[in-house]
Chains A and B, each alone.
Chain A
């Protein structure tokens, strides 16, 4: 309850509770002042909207006049709405791509970038990261042209290699999903690589040396030393990419418009369409509440299982 006194050597005693070293001023209102701007904005622009969303989801409203109370009807309609089922299914596919394809790929690239004595590490790292900083419009435009059936680069390359072209990348339901997945891969892999690379550089060298002495090969070193050491980073990256993929909007909206036949419609697109193209604000709010429950519940569960986001550092 008192502040830790730093000894003459500059060393503090290490307690199991790192909070011990934190300062507790007398008349301790200072910390509350420091965190208050965030909580003010948080209440105004996050908590209240979530509450309003809950309330709106129980009404029918076209954006004008007064919302009509309809109880759980929106949820009953969602339960039988085939479009919403598609949106949930497609979003689940994008989440699986992110977690099961992009995350492992990012880990492999990070492993390559972490090779000892690698030249131009900064250049590679920068180049792979750049896609995340470019505007989604540019991404959609460029990939729209690449996947174009007539003029696209993808088909031109196929033709040159295999003599067949004319693949309808964005017009076929399965291929459209593949195209979106490829764009996600291109945009996000380098971003996630950064986290893994930082994690790899924090693995104590002694562990690798010990593994080498034990005569472990490269694969065994990777599975017995690297992977366990990367657990916290992996947890963070998995949860982050899950949350990002669960709210995917730009890629399908700009590249395929959710088509063909709603095969790339995401939940966020469904919400956008219901509210701002069809004026069904209550219905959109209900879909948003479902998304909230799914994403919030699953990611909190992941956090609990994987143990990240502890208040103490």
Chain B
């Protein structure tokens, strides 16, 4: 079947521009002096080109601290959640036990609980029990994601044969030993995918930090940038520079691990 592929590629290129143009415009704007950002027609290549926005941002704003806060929280939340998901996913994928169906349904139905439902009580509980410190409280919503467990369970069912586990059991390995030495290594690609996803969820989260963090020295990146965004002077130039810096780790992670991530994300959905 040979068909003229031109219309197809035309559509794909248009979509490509549509999805990426706003980001390219932001990137180019971050190298322009404030007065030039709104120039029309929009110039893709900054002229005059300047690094002043980045310099000002890094010297006059606590950007480094925001970045540290965001990254540490995201790394801790990711580590905990990936481990929790792998354990539970394995439990659901490879064991039979009393109450399995009910427990699975309870886990799965938590996907249908919007975060806004627990926003107020979670805040109240953590603050009243003295656990409201951002270092702890910011990771809380991300540590037990049902979607991650579902994804792991699907992946384990598809990719780890029972015979391997049986052989290890016959050799007298302990259940946790089997998990650590056999299952985890085999799960590496999908753990990577889940980790990227969880990292991005935490790193880009906005509502929970907005509610929780009042001390500006503990702002995460989105909060810090928001203060520039809504400040009196509307420092668009700095926000653009900050947003570009903030997005770099996210995009880099994604581009490096996109294959595993895109495949991992769809594992649960396709077979579901």
Contact = CB atoms under 8 A, between A and B. Distances in A.
Contact of B114 (A52, A128, A195, A243): A243
B175 interface: yes
B144 A46 contact: yes
A292 to B, nearest CB: 4
B6 interface: no
A303 B104 CA distance: 14
B112 interface: yes
Given A291-B116, A313-B157, A45 B141 contact: yes
A33 B272 CA distance: 25
Interface stretch (B43-51, B54-62, B184-192, B246-254): B246-254
B38 A151 contact: yes
Contacts of B176: 30, 33
A92 interface: no
B240 A49 contact: no
- For the residues of B in contact with A, the DSSP-based class is helix
B16 A124 contact: yes
B68 interface: no
A258 B109 CA distance: 30
A133 B202 CA distance: 11
Given A22-B95, A288-B119, A199 B266 contact: yes
Given A35-B87, A130-B20, A141 B272 contact: no
Instruction: Report the interface size class on chain A.
Output: 35 or more
Contacts of A300: 109, 112
B23 A142 contact: yes
Contacts of A308: 272
A153 interface: yes
A142 B22 contact: yes
Secondary structure class of chain A's binding surface, majority of residues: helix
A210 B75 CA distance: 50
Interface string B144-185: 100001100110011000110110010000011001000000
20 contacts: A10-B163, A46-B118, A133-B250, A141-B243, A142-B22, A145-B37, A198-B269, A232-B270, A243-B114, A272-B116, A275-B119, A281-B120, A291-B117, A292-B114, A292-B117, A295-B112, A299-B112, A309-B272, A311-B92, A313-B154
Interface of A: 3-4, 6, 10, 12, 18-19, 21-25, 28, 30-35, 37-39, 41-42, 45-46, 48-53, 56, 63, 109, 112-113, 115-116, 118, 122-131, 133-138, 140-143, 145-146, 148, 151, 153, 156, 160, 186, 189-190, 194-195, 197-199, 202, 232-233, 235-237, 239-240, 243, 246-247, 249-250, 253-254, 267-268, 271-272, 275-276, 281, 284-285, 288-289, 291-292, 295-296, 299-300, 303, 308-311, 313
Given A130-B20, A198-B270, 10 more contacts: A6-B166, A33-B176, A38-B107, A46-B118, A53-B117, A134-B247, A135-B204, A142-B26, A195-B269, A313-B157
